[in-house]
Structure 1
Amino acid sequence: MSEHHKVVVIGGGYAGTLAANRLRQRADVEVTLVNPRPQFVERIRLHQFVARTGDATLDYDTLLGEGISLVVDSVTRIDTGARKVHLESGRALEYDYAIYAVGSKAAVPDAIPGAAEYAFDIAEFEAAQRLRSRLDDLPRDAPITVVGGGFTGIETAAELAEQGRSVTLVCGGALASTLSAKGRRYVAKWLSRHDVAVLENTPVTAVRADGVVLAGGGVRGSALTVWTAGFGVPELAAASGLRTDALGRLLTDETLTSVDDSRIVAAGDAVAPSGQALRMSTYAAGPLGAQAANTVLSRVAGAEPAALDLAFTGACVSLGRHAGIRQLARKDDSAVNLYIAGRLGALVKETACRFVIEKRIRREARDPGSMTWPKAGPRPSRGGPGSSYAARSGYDELRERSGNPESAR
Structure 2
Amino acid sequence: MTEGQIRAVVIGGGYAGVMAANRLCSTDGVAVTLVNPRAKFVERIRLHQLAIDNDDATEDYATVLNAGVRLVVDGAERIDAAARRVELTSGGSLEYDYLVYAVGSTGAVPDSVAGAREFAYPLSELEQAQRLQSRLADVPLSAPIVVVGGGLTGIEAASEFAEAGRSVTLVGAALAPSLSKPGRRSVAKRLRKLGVEVIEDSVAAVTADAVVLASGRALPSAATVWTAGFGVPDLAAASGLSTDALGRLLTDETLTSIDDQRIVGTGDAVSPSGLPFRMSCQASLPLGAQSANTVLSRIAGTEPAGISVPMTAQCISLGRGAGTLQLQHKDDTPVGIYIGGKAGAFIKEQVCRWTLKWMAGEAAKPGSYKSQKGPDRGPQLTEAAAVVSSR
TM-score by length of 1: 0.92
The whole-number CA distance in structure 1 between the counterparts of 2:239 and 2:301 is 27
| Residues 19-53 of structure 1, C-alpha deviations (whole Å, 9 max, x = no match) | 00000111100000000000000000000111111
- The equivalent of 1:304 in structure 2 is 303
Does structure 2 retain, via aligned residues, the 8 Å contact 1:45–1:54?
Answer: yes
1:26 corresponds to which letter in structure 2?
Answer: T
Alignment of 1:294-333 (within 5 A): 294-333=293-332
The whole-number CA distance in structure 2 between the counterparts of 1:340 and 1:53 is 24
- The equivalent of 2:164 in structure 1 is 163
> SS in structure 1 opposite 2:51?
helix
Deviation, structure 1 residue 218: 1.5
> SS in structure 1 opposite 2:260?
coil
Does structure 1 retain, via aligned residues, the 8 Å contact 2:313–2:328?
Answer: yes
> SS in structure 1 opposite 2:380?
coil
Deviation, structure 1 residue 193: 1.1
> SS in structure 2 opposite 1:316?
strand
Query: How many pairs were matched up?
Result: 383
Pick which of 28-37 and 306-315 moved more.
Answer: 306-315
The whole-number CA distance in structure 2 between the counterparts of 1:183 and 1:61 is 38
The whole-number CA distance in structure 2 between the counterparts of 1:84 and 1:377 is 36
- The equivalent of 1:187 in structure 2 is 187
Does structure 1 retain, via aligned residues, the 8 Å contact 2:331–2:375?
Answer: no
The whole-number CA distance in structure 2 between the counterparts of 1:378 and 1:325 is 27
The whole-number CA distance in structure 1 between the counterparts of 2:86 and 2:22 is 20
Alignment of 1:7-406 (within 5 A): 7-171=8-172, 173-200=173-200, 202-358=201-357, 360-376=358-374, 378=376, 380-384=378-382
The whole-number CA distance in structure 1 between the counterparts of 2:119 and 2:174 is 24
> SS in structure 2 opposite 1:382?
helix
Gaps of at least 5 residues in structure 2 are 385-391
TM-score by length of 2: 0.96
Query: How has the CA–CA distance of structure 1 residues 181 and 377 changed in structure 2, closer, same or farther, with 3 Å as cutoff?
Result: closer
> SS in structure 2 opposite 1:70?
strand
Does structure 2 retain, via aligned residues, the 8 Å contact 1:2–1:28?
Answer: no
| Residues 103-153 of structure 1, C-alpha deviations (whole Å, 9 max, x = no match) | 000100011100000000110000000000000000110000000000000
In the TM superposition, structure 1's runs of 4+ consecutive aligned residues that sit over 6 Å from their partners are none
> SS in structure 2 opposite 1:66?
coil
> SS in structure 2 opposite 1:25?
coil
Deviation, structure 1 residue 377: 5.2
Does structure 2 retain, via aligned residues, the 8 Å contact 1:180–1:327?
Answer: yes
Gaps of at least 5 residues in structure 1 are 393-409
Identical-residue share of aligned pairs (%): 59
2:364 corresponds to which letter in structure 1?
Answer: R
Query: How has the CA–CA distance of structure 1 residues 155 and 379 changed in structure 2, closer, same or farther, with 3 Å as cutoff?
Result: closer
- The equivalent of 2:389 in structure 1 is none
- The equivalent of 2:388 in structure 1 is none
| Residues 263-316 of structure 1, C-alpha deviations (whole Å, 9 max, x = no match) | 100100000000111100110000000000000000000111000011210110
The whole-number CA distance in structure 2 between the counterparts of 1:353 and 1:216 is 38
Does structure 1 retain, via aligned residues, the 8 Å contact 2:330–2:375?
Answer: no
- Pairwise CA RMSD: 1.3
Query: How has the CA–CA distance of structure 1 residues 187 and 7 changed in structure 2, closer, same or farther, with 3 Å as cutoff?
Result: same
